[in-house]
Structure 1
Amino acid sequence: MSETATDTDREPRFRSVPLGEIEPARSRHMWTRSAVCIAASGYLVVTGEWDGTVTARDADSLEARWTADHPDHAVGIASLEDRGDANADGDEAETIVVAGRGETGTIAAYDAETGDRRWRYDTVADVGEAVEDTVFYLPYVVALEAGTDADGNAVLYAAARRYERDGETRQWHSTVYAFDADGSIRWTHETDASPIALDLDGDGDRLAVGYNRCLGDHDTGLVVLETASGELAWTWDPGTEGDRRIGDVSVDGESIAVSSHGDKRGYLLGPGGAERWSVDLAVETEIDGETLYAYPNHAYANDARVAFVTGNTYAVESRETENRHPNEHRVAAFDADGDPLWDDAVRGFVHGLAADGNRLVAPCAQNFRVRDPDTHAISCFDLESGAGGRERFDGIATAAAVADGTVAAIEEPVRYHDEGETRGEYALRVASLE
């Protein structure tokens, strides 16, 4: 890949609201601690915080409308509109659904107007309790996806997982759920692999599930389920050695874009998993006697175009290296035939890619090997041209959402291990992209 996109031509101007205190991140990336969502109605920006605080704010004034206490770390948020449950004015009822990481791995739904809890489900009942008192072992709801069924009723899809280790034996326990708007379960899909991403097709008929680690009987990276029943439609796998499989999935019509952790490539699949094309993203590359690679962590497909985002450099022989893979921390876009459209640097680690139509937003955190504060930023791109804007943060950007010309991001403070300075603050930042 080469840098073909023009430099950023416009910077969004962010308004800021403090979120309180949080332990500064360090040189290495910390676990996901925050989340942000722009409600489907467009009038609320909702934040989820490390201590379980969930706050809905007016999208224009940023004044708090309500606050709720989630049982776990609030690490994911989705907006669910229920067309079958209108309010007194005849408007569709809206629910804010929060995913947790903690002892209970709770999924809870809150009324968008009042913040009152509508229902709660503890995934610990399915994935099991943590066997060690550390974050990595806690039940974790890794993804939420809002959709509707054939009758227009709201459906929430969720994926939860838990990890455990006993000596040399490592195990994952996971469940994918389909919930009705009232919290009742339509179906579940259980495996002994680690899910990482969900995405629906445009008609809401099929759900793509990406599995990142496959250590047991389940040994395929992509599973496509029929949403009406939860039955298996088809599967696909990069066919590589080891337990690494998928970094992300994104559905566009009859196509599914997949970022592969197995061979560090990007794929576009057709119906049944037929491979339409694949591209090298950050494949193993020899530099100064070392074999280096970077994981393609994110994929986004829309209107017959696909973008992939890569992450940190690693060495095959050791996790420590002074060298950089030439395609680390980059976003690259391709057309329907897999031909390059543009690519550009994102500079820092992207925890999660936000998108709305042809607009991409990348919250960029630290590059833990370089430790350059200039990597802390929100970067915006047009999927077709690569044009966009970039705004630096003092702290690291760890979550983002974009909808209807508004972008919202979470900034967290960071303190590098070889410096005594704490950079940035724990804050919500909101800007208009129009």
Structure 2
Amino acid sequence: MSESEPDLHESEEATDGFAVSLGDPRPAGSRHMWQRSAVTITDGRVIAGTVDGRVSAFPIALSGYGDEPEPSWTATIADEYAVSLEDGPEGTVAVGGRGEGGIVAAIDATTGERRWSYRSADDLGEPQKESLFFLPYVVSVATDGERIYAAARRYERDGGERSFRSAVYAFDPDGDLVWTYRADASPIAIDLREGRLAVAYNRCPGDHRTGLVVLDTETGDPQLTWDPGCEGDRRVGDASLLADGVAVASHGDYRGYRLDETGRERWSVDLARPTEVGEETLYAYPNHVHATGEGVAFVTGNTYPEEGREAEGRHPHEHTITAFTPDGTERWHAPVGGWVSELAAADGTIATPGAQRFRDRDPDSHGLRRYDLVEGPMTGISIEGVVTAAAMTDRRVAVIEEPVEYHDGDAVRGGYRLHVSA
């Protein structure tokens, strides 16, 4: 096992690409843990989604830091965050929003024309309050070249009781709804592979008590269900499909699992289980997983105490990535620098867009880190603001930088920018 951190170099010196301003939004705060931007890479274009519902396309051929290249086109989905993007079928870009409508849309990748849109709020209900956590939220979109899939949720609260309404959708390229899978639980991530759609539910306070559901993409019927079987409503943080099963990051018991195609456990590993640190018992949630035939990598998030709300200490496996062989043997372990909102992966490489360590507030940790699934840490990119979204191909990396203002500081760090590099 090896443990080291990727070297972070300044973006202007370490890349061959361009950076462009995306506007001037309210800076992220110390507890920035939500999605409000998105990015994806299509043939010849980088597509960025922003806090005001704009979706803009930039030609990859642009170059030169300090330039301000104009987008090829800009579309607006609605007055809400554009938080999920994916290269769609028949020359489209699939978009998911966070706002009053919880919009799912398809935009023409060449012209920016909106081909169709769908309001998930019509199914899930209008927001209980006009604040971020109550807004309908399309947590993820995915495409298989024939259909667009999306998972949306809405949260509400009645006194001390929390509840969710959610739906997973399949749309034909023309926007016709093919099927819907509903639950009174909170989907957090989806993954698509070979006729299967994995849905991870991180909160299950209602009748739906299953952390993982794998749906048939043709019919929407469940093929596989799995749950860590724990008390409380925390269940699963992420899932990554394999040809012969699925890897799961479990919120319920802070472990990582490798399941076979029937949902039976092949192996499991402790990731950030409750640990005594000084006089506290601390834990951290495994939030992300990426699996291929070469192995599995899990990423953990912030430290939390079993008692109270604020931790004095830090869990030893907070903000880390750990990689395992296909049979569950640990290969390497490394820091990720701070809160990671999502993963990007391509050709055996994993990228972690790093926001802040909101308790330590170390701006030197901001950046994009890269790891080889087999060999471990690679060179990363240092960025002044927090990095909240990333996309990667075998040749390109694109990230969204957001400005951040720590609550105990006196400066805004970074800007709202799209960075594209080779």
Q: For this structure pair, what is the TM-score category when the shorter chain's length is used for normalisation?
A: over 0.9
Q: How far apart are the structure 2 equivalents of 1:349 and 1:308? A: 13
Aligned pairs (5 A) from 1:215-364: 215-364=205-354
Q: 1:421 to 1:66 in 2, by over 3 A?
A: same
- Indicate the residue corresponding to 2:41 in structure 1: 38
- Structure 2 CA distance for partners of 1:9 and 1:408, relative to 1, 3 Å: closer
- Residue 19 of structure 2 aligns with an amino acid whose one-letter code is S
Give the partner amino acid of 2:147: V
Residue of structure 2 in register with 1:129 after alignment: 126
Query: Partner amino acid for 1:264?
Result: Y
State the match for 2:72 in structure 1: 65
Residue of 186, 206, 223 corresponding to 1:194? 186
CA distance in 2, matches of 1:410, 1:369: 22
Which residue does 2:108 correspond to in 1?
A: 111
Residue deviations 1:241-298 (CA, integer Å, cap 9, x gap): 1000011010111121100001111001101111010011111000101100011100
Give the Cα–Cα distance (whole angstroms) in 1 for the partners of residues 118 and 287 of structure 2: 29
Deviations 1:283-316 (A, max 9, x none): 1000101100011100000124100000111111
The count of aligned residue pairs is: 411
Q: Which one-letter code corresponds to 1:45 in the other structure?
A: V
Aligned match of 2:95 in 69, 94, 98? Answer: 98
Give 5+ residue unaligned stretches, structure 2: 63-68
Within 5 A, what are the aligned runs for 1:384-423? 384-423=374-413
Report if aligned partners of 1:252, 1:304 keep a CA contact under 8 Å in 2.
no
- Counterpart of 1:50 in structure 2 is 51
Q: Say which SS state the counterpart of residue 81 (structure 1) adopts.
A: coil
What is the letter of the counterpart of residue 235 of structure 1? T
Residue by residue, what CA displacement relative to the aligned partner does 1:193-244 show, whole Å, maximum 9, x if unpaired?
000111122x2x2111110100111001000111111111120000111000
> Is the CA contact (8 Å cut-off) linking 2:49 and 2:84 kept in structure 1?
yes
Could you tell me whether the CA contact under 8 Å between 1:268 and 1:277 is conserved in 2?
A: yes
Aligned to 2:65: none
CA-CA distance at 1:5 after TM superposition:
4.8
Q: Structure 2 counterpart of 1:158, which letter?
A: A
CA 1:253–1:268: 2 relative to 1, 3 Å: same
Paired residue secondary structure (2:290)? strand
Q: 163-172 or 212-221: which moved more?
A: 163-172
Amino acid at match of 1:79: D
Q: CA deviation at 1:3?
A: 4.6
**1:163 equivalent among 144, 155, 159:** 155
CA–CA separation in structure 1 for the residues paired with 2:8 and 2:389: 23
Cα displacement (A) at 1:30 = 4.5
| Alignment pair present for 1:207 and 2:197 | yes
In 2, distance between residues paired with 1:184 and 1:291? 50
Q: CA separation of 1:57/1:9 partners in 2, compared to 1, >3 Å: closer, same or farther?
A: closer
Question: Which SS does the other structure have where 1:374 is aligned?
Answer: helix
Match in the other structure for 1:89: none
Q: What's the CA shift string for 1:41-99, capped at 9, x where partnerless?
A: 2x0000000011110000121541100111121111111133xxxxxxxxxxx101110
Residue of structure 2 equivalent to 1:74: 82
For the residues of structure 1 that align with 2:336 and 2:33, how far apart are their CA atoms? 19
TM-score of the two chains, using structure 2 as the length reference:
0.95
Q: Distance in 2 between matches of 1:208 and 1:30?
A: 23
CA contact (8 A) 1:144 1:158 kept: yes
C-alpha distance in 1, partners of 2:33/2:187?
19
Q: Provide Cα deviations, 1:307-330, integer angstroms capped at 9, x if missing partner.
A: 000011111102212211111111
> In the superposition, relative to structure 1, how do residues 383 and 10 fare at CA in structure 2: closer, same or farther (>3 Å)?
farther
Structure 2 residue aligned with 1:176: 168
Shift of 1:397: 0.4
Residues 10 and 388 in structure 1, CA contact (< 8 A), matched pair in contact too: no
Pairwise CA distance, 1:10? 7.7
CA distance in 1, matches of 2:347, 2:174: 29
Q: Which of 19, 22, 26 is the matching residue for 1:19?
A: 22
> Which residue of structure 2 lines up, in the alignment, with residue 374 of structure 1?
364
Q: Is the 8 A contact 2:294 2:374 kept in 1?
A: no
Give the deviation of 1:4 after TM superposition. 2.9
Check conservation: 2:8, 2:369, Cα contact below 8 A.
no
Task: Give yes or no for contact 2:190–2:200 (8 Å, CA) kept in 1.
Answer: yes
Q: What percentage of aligned pairs have identical amino acids?
A: 51
Change (3 A) 1:6 1:73: closer
C-alpha distance in 1 between matches for 2:380 and 2:281: 32
Tell me, which stretches of 5 or more residues in structure 1 are unaligned?
83-93, 149-153
Question: Displacement, 1:184?
Answer: 0.6
CA distance in 2, matches of 1:429, 1:244: 35
SS class of match (2:88): strand
Separation in structure 2 between the aligned mates of residue 251 and residue 263 of structure 1, nearest angstrom:
20
SS of structure 2 residue aligned to 1:67: strand
Partner AA of 1:313 in structure 2? T
- Amino acid corresponding to residue 46 of structure 1 in structure 2: I
SS at match of 1:273: coil
Q: Aligned partner of 1:70: which letter?
A: I
Q: Secondary structure at the match of 2:72?
A: strand
Question: What is the CA–CA distance in structure 2 between the aligned matches of 1:304 and 1:5, rounded to whole Å?
Answer: 21
User: What amino acid maps onto 2:32 in structure 1?
Assistant: H
The letter of the residue matching 1:67 is T
Matched, 1:140 2:137: yes
CA RMSD after TM alignment: 1.4
Q: Which residue of 2 aligns with 1:86?
A: none
